[in-house]
Structure 1
Amino acid sequence: MSNSLKSPLNIIFAGTPDFAAQHLLALIKSDHNIVAVYCPPDKPAGRGKKLTACATKLLALEHNIPVEQPINFKAVNDQQKLTQYNADVMVVVAYGLLLPEVILNAPRLGCINVHGSLLPEWRGAAPIQRSLEAGDEKTGVTIMQMDKGLDTGDMILTAECIIEHTDTSASIYEKLALLGPTALVDTLALMAQDNYNANEQNTSQDDSLATYAHKLDKSEAELDWQLSACELDRKIRAYIPWPVAQFTFTESNTVNKQHKIRIWQASIQESDSEKPIGTIISANKSGIVVATANGAICLETLQLPGKKALPVKDILNGRADWFKVGANINGIVD
């Protein structure tokens, strides 16, 4: 690189899950100095509700990096503590806490965020899921300068990846977990240059192109067979690994007992069937094909209540009576 560098930078890192920890690891391996790691307080987990540290904290402790866990940044003491680290920049990745303006302005170069979309599309809490659900052809990560708005800051660098027709939120998450750390290190290299000028080099977002990625809710998991096969397929893939798309099956021969059946894998099926929406067109080892408002969808891997996810051929071995050709996918069967 021809430009001289003001490297290494002193960095505060703020993040929580494994996705954040992968970015922290990239910074640990870089020439920069991690002066502190911020993450939320430990939370109860498991049957014993034992207080458990997040992935980012565990990685920080492994590398002897100071860890701070404020509940929020409303307390003046917490604000002053962060300022005392005298960081050049604060890197925020899936942290989960809102940062007040006093924190955003504390580091010399402010705070930057790794966001899982190509801004200004899909600002908000669930960018990966909403991008898949909408049928986008590509996604990526945006490294942006944080401001007091929700994902509205100027963009420093972006990295793109194609969304394949088989991608789930889980697989996109993995792709972005590879893209993001590299983009972050490249961004910090830009920011470390003597001639770095955020006002001149960063790109403002076009608010007229903005879309909002609302947080996922469990209620969205229940599929509506009135949608097209294409829409259902996108939802199924978007809701893996959470909340996982499902349908409610009703048995008439047990006083209308209901079962929530999760769908872990499905595919769009070409069909010229004129069967009513929700009708099972075929059920064999390849899958259960269901008529939709437009086309059909083949359910390939299902999870019955209290059981592990299994290929449909194994489900049919024990529950073929639930999925008879000509019946409605939601029951009721005699």
Structure 2
Amino acid sequence: MPALDALVAAGYDVVAVYTQPDRPAGRGRQPRPSAVKTAARHHGLTVEQPDRPGGASAQAQLAAYQPDVMVVAAYGLILPPAVLAIPTYGCLNIHASLLPRWRGAAPIQRAIEAGDAETGVCLMEMEAGLDTGPVIATRPTPIAPDDTGATVHDRLAGLGAGLLVDTLGAWLNGERRATPQADTGVTHAGKISADEAWIDWQRPAVETERRIRAFDPWPVMRAQRGDDRLKVWRAEAVAGSATPHAPGTVVAVGEKGIDVQTGDGLLRLQCVQAPGGRAQPVADFLRGHPVYAGETLD
């Protein structure tokens, strides 16, 4: 939404906003509009939601708008070359990484998970390949030790909106300069799967800490405690920790956290969520859910 809001605020004539069809959501599984659709309606803009953006009727509708340029941000569907060729000045994509690092569906999460010190946004010219097009402009930002997928997403959304508005005028005026991506340093950010959210206690604590931050707000890392699935929202690797316990063993319990042995070091769980409950600091969680040293988490 920040990119759309920024375009409207800058006075650009947004002839239509494309977003995916409404999806079932919530306990009632009723169709719910995307945040983009809601923002577009707020601005009084036309909304299109084709099931197949590459289909003949969708292409004809897009061509009828006679767009100068199309701006794409996390659309979630692949656009075929025939669609990319419709706008007079091409299609521009706001991508949440510093390309060619982290091409693909989950660049924010994969950057945090890998321990990258920096990420950013790119404005790139789209082509048939997945995030392979030439880069028009970039804007970097550091990844802080306490950053999560949510905080980095929100920061990059703002940076991307600013980058778009700062760059688009020159692009439409004929100053269309883009730099081909380097052939080296290419990495791929595969789509996040819910199956990845189970903590592997054999892995080092520092890796699991990064994954917990990366998978906030979705799918949220979790551990099995008896019959319950315990969601872990925040944790930290305890420096210099070494015990003889098997991975997954609860070593210590206190108001600062629940210390669990991993394959390398202790992981201190600091904010957790029981089934049917809400996320809580460990000190609050323990009042209703006692945890004891010697327990094993799977």
Q: TM-score range, shorter-chain basis?
A: over 0.9
SS of the counterpart of 1:128? Answer: helix
CA contact (8 A) 1:112 1:146 kept: yes
Q: CA deviation at 1:278?
A: 2.5
Query: Does 2:199 align with 1:223?
Result: yes
Q: Which residue of 2 aligns with 1:4?
A: none
Tell me whether 44-53 or 161-170 shows the greater mean CA deviation: 44-53
Q: Which of 24, 40, 48 is residue 28 of structure 2 equivalent to?
A: 48
Tell me whether 42-51 or 239-248 shows the greater mean CA deviation: 42-51
Q: How does 1:206-285 map to 2 (within 5 A)?
A: 206-250=182-226, 258-276=227-245, 277-285=247-255
Q: How does 1:77-96 map to 2 (within 5 A)?
A: 77-96=57-76
Superposed CA offset, 1:32-53 (max 9, x none): 2111111122223333333322
Q: CA deviation at 1:71?
A: 1.1
Q: Which residue of 1 aligns with 2:43?
A: 63
Q: CA deviation at 1:75?
A: 2.9
Q: CA deviation at 1:242?
A: 0.7
Tell me whether 272-281 or 258-267 shows the greater mean CA deviation: 272-281
Q: CA deviation at 1:83?
A: 1.1
After the TM superposition, list the runs of 4 or more consecutive aligned residues in structure 1 that deviate by more than 6 angstroms: none
- Structure 1 pair 327/75, CA: closer, same or farther in 2 (3 Å)? closer
CA distance in 1, matches of 2:8, 2:275: 43
Structure with bigger gyration radius: 1
- Structure 1 pair 41/273, CA: closer, same or farther in 2 (3 Å)? closer
CA contact (8 A) 1:275 1:281 kept: no
CA distance in 1, matches of 2:62, 2:241: 63
Query: Does 2:294 align with 1:326?
Result: yes
CA distance in 1, matches of 2:109, 2:49: 28
CA distance in 2, matches of 1:51, 1:260: 28
With normalisation by structure 2, the TM-score equals 0.95
Query: Does 2:296 align with 1:296?
Result: no
Q: Which of 30, 39, 44 is residue 10 of structure 2 equivalent to?
A: 30
Amino acid at match of 1:167: D
CA distance in 2, matches of 1:61, 1:235: 36
Aligned length: 297
SS of the counterpart of 1:165? Answer: coil
Q: CA deviation at 1:119?
A: 0.6
Q: Percent identity?
A: 42
CA distance in 1, matches of 2:241, 2:12: 60
CA distance in 1, matches of 2:282, 2:182: 46
What RMSD in Å do the two structures reach over aligned CA positions? 1.5
CA distance in 1, matches of 2:204, 2:29: 42
CA distance in 2, matches of 1:138, 1:98: 27
Tell me whether 52-61 or 166-175 shows the greater mean CA deviation: 52-61
Superposed CA offset, 1:256-287 (max 9, x none): xx211010111121244322232322101111
- Structure 1 pair 61/315, CA: closer, same or farther in 2 (3 Å)? closer
Tell me whether 66-75 or 43-52 shows the greater mean CA deviation: 43-52
